[in-house]
Amino acid sequence: MHIKECIVSAPGKAILHGEHAVVHGKMALAVSLNLRTYLQLQATFTSKVCINLPNINAFLSWDVTVLNQLVPDSEADLRNMDELDIELVRRLRDFVGIPNGALDTRSMAILAFLYIYISIFAGSGELPSLTVSVWSELPTGAGLGSSSAYSVCLAAALLSASGTIPSPLSDQENTARWGVAEMELINRFAFQGERIIHGNPSGVDNAVGTWGGILRYHSGKITPLSRVPMLRILLTNTKVPRSTKVLVAGVKDKMNKGPKVIGQWTQKLFHGQFPSIINPVLDSVDAISCTCEQTLSEMTSDSPTPEHYDILEELIDINQHHLNVMGVGHPALDNLCRVTLARGLHSKLTGAGGGGCAITLLRPETEHSVVQNTVQDLRECGYDCWETRIGAAGVQEHSPLAVKEEVLEVLARY
Ligand SMILES: Nc1ncnc2c1ncn2[C@@H]1O[C@H](COP(=O)(O)OP(=O)(O)OP(=O)(O)O)[C@@H](O)[C@H]1O
Ligand SMILES: C[C@@](O)(CCO)CC(=O)[O-]
Ligand SMILES: [Mg+2]
C-alpha cells in the first residue's frame, strides 16, 4: 500500500486548574505550551516497522509479517473507540514481553505505538513497513503532557500515512493544521494512546495537544476560550519522577476507601464515608476552575486589575492545598511553593503531581529582578525553571523546510 511520509508536531500542556477532579467529571482549564513533540514518519521497503524514541532511549523494530498475526480477526472492537480492545492489548503485551502491571516508560510508549498502528491499518489488508522517529522538547513524565503530545503525534502521522486524513499542507504553507473533522479523529485515536499510558484519562491532555490554545474541558466537552489575557507563567520541574497512571489510580482509591472488614460497627461507621470526604474537595476544585474562567473573562472584557491577580493567586493557593488533600503532592512541590512565596509568588503543581512540574503566576508588575531571583532560588534547589509562553498551536503538519534545524537533525539520525 502507498504510505504518505510526513512530519507532525503537537504541544505539551499545563493545567491551570482541575487536574484529577476532571477525571471525576469536574471542569478543568488547560493551556498549550511552546514546547512540542515532533514525529517523522518514513515509508520503507524493509518489511519492518521501526520506532526510534531517543528521549527514552528505545529503538525497536519488528517484522511486518509477525505483526500481521496480531491483527484482530474482527475489527469491531477496534472501531469502538469508546473503549480499548482489551484482547489486542493483551496480545501486544505477550508479543513484546510486557508483564501485566508494568508501567515503565518504554513498555507504555511501545504499547501505545503498536496499538494505534494496528488500529489504523487493520482494515487495509496488509500492515505497511515504515519507520517512526519521535523527538520531544518536553520532559518525559513530568506533568506537561508528554504522553498526550506523543499520542497525538502518533495518531496524526499514522492517520495521514494511511490516507485516512489528507495533508493540510499546500504550496503556500509549510506548516498547516487540519480541519475540525480530522482533528476530532486524531483526538479519538490519541485518546486510545492515553488510555494505554494513563489507564483512566479524562481526555483533557490529548484535547489540548490536538486543539492547542486555552481550553475549558468538561466530561469530554471541549470549549476553546477565545478571549484570554496574556498570562505570564513560570514553569518549574522538580525532576521528581512520577507516573500519571499511578497517581490517578491513587485518587480513585482514596475516594472509594472503606474499612478493612474490622467488624459490623466499624463497617457501618466508615463504609461510604470517604466519598463524602473527598467529593466536596473535588466540588471545590470545580468551583475554583469556574471562578478562574470567570476572572479570566473579566480580565479581557475590562482591563486586568491587581484585584484580578489577587483572586488568581488565591485560587492557586487553595487548589494546591486541595491537591495535597487528594494525596498527589510531594515534599519537593511544598518546598517549591515556599521558595516562590518567599518572593511573593504563588505556585501550584500542574498535571498529575506527585513530583513533576508546577506553575507560578507572574503578575504584570512583577519586576524582572524578582523573576530572576526566583529562578535562581529554584535552580539552587536542583529544579529546572523557565518562563513560558502559553497558547501554542495544536497538532500541525510541517514540510521539512518549516522544522528547526536541530530537530530535523535528531530525527534524521535514526
Ligand atoms: N518523547 C517521548 N518518546 C516516547 N515516549 C514518550 C515520550 N514522551 C512521553 N512518552 C510516554 O509517555 C509516558 C509519560 O506519561 P505520563 O502521563 O506519566 O507523564 P506526562 O504526560 O509527562 O505528565 P501528565 O500526564 O501529568 O501531563 C512515558 O512513560 C512514555 O511511555
Ligand atoms: C491528572 C490528570 O487530571 C491530568 C494529567 O495531566 C489526568 C487526566 O485528566 O487524564
Ligand atoms: Mg500524561
CA distance 72 to 93: 14
Smallest-distance ligand from the CA of 202: 2
**Same-domain check for residues 222 and 248:** no
**Same-domain check for residues 402 and 306:** no
CATH number where 320 lies: 3.30.70.890
Beta bridge partners of 134: 39
Identify whether 222 is part of a domain: yes
DSSP per-residue letters across 54-75: GGGTEEEEEEHHHHHTTS-S--
| Interface TM-score (ipTM) > 0.95 | yes
**Same-domain check for residues 151 and 206:** yes
Identify whether 1 is part of a domain: no
**Same-domain check for residues 286 and 170:** no
Asked if residue 358 has its Cβ within 6 Å of ligand 1, the reply is: no
Query: Sign of the CA dihedral 239, 312, 364, 33?
Result: positive
According to the model, what pLDDT value does residue 82 have?
Answer: 81
**Cα(1) to centroid of ligand 3, in Å?**
33
3-state secondary structure of 333: helix
Q: What mean pLDDT, rounded, does the chain reach? A: 93
* Three-state DSSP string of 366-406: CCHHHHHHHHHHHHHCCCEEEEECECCECCEEECHHHCCHH
**Cα(299) to centroid of ligand 3, in Å?**
30
Which ligand 1 atom minimizes the distance to the CA of 144? 27
Which ligand 1 atom minimizes the distance to the CA of 12? 27
The dihedral region occupied by 71, where left means phi > 0, alpha psi between -120 and 50, and beta the remainder, is beta
Give pLDDT < 70 ranges for the chain. Answer: 76-77, 258-273
For 264, the domain range is 232-388
How many distinct structural domains can be found in the chain? 2
Asked if residue 193 has its Cβ within 6 Å of ligand 1, the reply is: no
CA distance 36 to 13: 9
According to the model, what pLDDT value does residue 227 have?
Answer: 80
How many angstroms separate the Cα of 106 from the Cα of each of 40, 246, 305? Answer: 19, 16, 47
CA distance 107 to 284: 36
Instruction: From 33, 191, 205, 252, give the residue whose CB has the most ligand 2 atoms within 8 Å, as the site to mutate.
Output: 205
pLDDT digits (tens, 9 = 90+) for 278-300: 999 999 999 999 999 999 999 98
CA distance 195 to 254: 21
Which ligand 2 atom minimizes the distance to the CA of 201? 10
- Burial of residue 331 (CB within 10 Å: 0-12, 13-18, 19+) is exposed
Task: Choose, from 129, 147, 160, 289, the residue flagged as catalytic.
Answer: 147
Asked if residue 198 has its Cβ within 6 Å of ligand 2, the reply is: yes
Locate all alpha helices (DSSP H) within 135-241, ordered by sequence. 146-161, 180-198, 204-211
**Cα(324) to centroid of ligand 3, in Å?**
19
Smallest-distance ligand from the CA of 145: 1
Q: Which secondary structure element, helix H or strand E, spans residue 307, and what is its range?
A: helix 306-325
Identify whether 337 is part of a domain: yes
**Same-domain check for residues 30 and 93:** yes
According to the model, what pLDDT value does residue 269 have?
Answer: 46
Identify whether 167 is part of a domain: yes
According to the model, what pLDDT value does residue 256 have?
Answer: 85
Residue nearest to atom 1 of ligand 2 (CA): 352
Asked if residue 346 has its Cβ within 6 Å of ligand 2, the reply is: no
CB 53 within 8 A of CB 118: no
According to the model, what pLDDT value does residue 103 have?
Answer: 83
First-residue to last-residue Cα distance in the chain? 23
Instruction: Extract the C-alpha cell encoding 315.
Output: 485560587
pLDDT digits (tens, 9 = 90+) for 301-312: 888 999 999 999
Asked if residue 144 has its Cβ within 6 Å of ligand 1, the reply is: yes
**Same-domain check for residues 162 and 265:** no
What is the identity of the amino acid at 270? F
**Same-domain check for residues 375 and 408:** no
205 an active-site residue?
yes
**Same-domain check for residues 125 and 216:** yes
Identify whether 199 is part of a domain: yes
**Same-domain check for residues 237 and 344:** yes
**Same-domain check for residues 76 and 132:** yes
**Cα(226) to centroid of ligand 1, in Å?**
28
147 an active-site residue?
yes
**CB atoms closer than 10 angstroms to residue 234:** 21
pTM for this predicted structure: 0.95
**Same-domain check for residues 61 and 207:** yes
CATH number where 92 lies: 3.30.230.10
According to the model, what pLDDT value does residue 414 have?
Answer: 81
According to the model, what pLDDT value does residue 273 have?
Answer: 67
What is the identity of the amino acid at 284? S
CB 36 within 8 A of CB 25: no
CB 176 within 8 A of CB 273: no
How many angstroms separate the Cα of 277 from the Cα of each of 272, 284, 322? Answer: 9, 12, 12
Task: Choose, from 133, 202, 205, 289, the residue flagged as catalytic.
Answer: 205
Asked if residue 148 has its Cβ within 6 Å of ligand 2, the reply is: no
**Same-domain check for residues 76 and 221:** yes
According to the model, what pLDDT value does residue 270 have?
Answer: 46
Asked if residue 56 has its Cβ within 6 Å of ligand 1, the reply is: yes
How many angstroms separate the Cα of 297 from the Cα of each of 192, 290, 292, 360, 387? Answer: 33, 11, 9, 20, 23
CA distance 196 to 277: 30
Asked if residue 248 has its Cβ within 6 Å of ligand 2, the reply is: yes
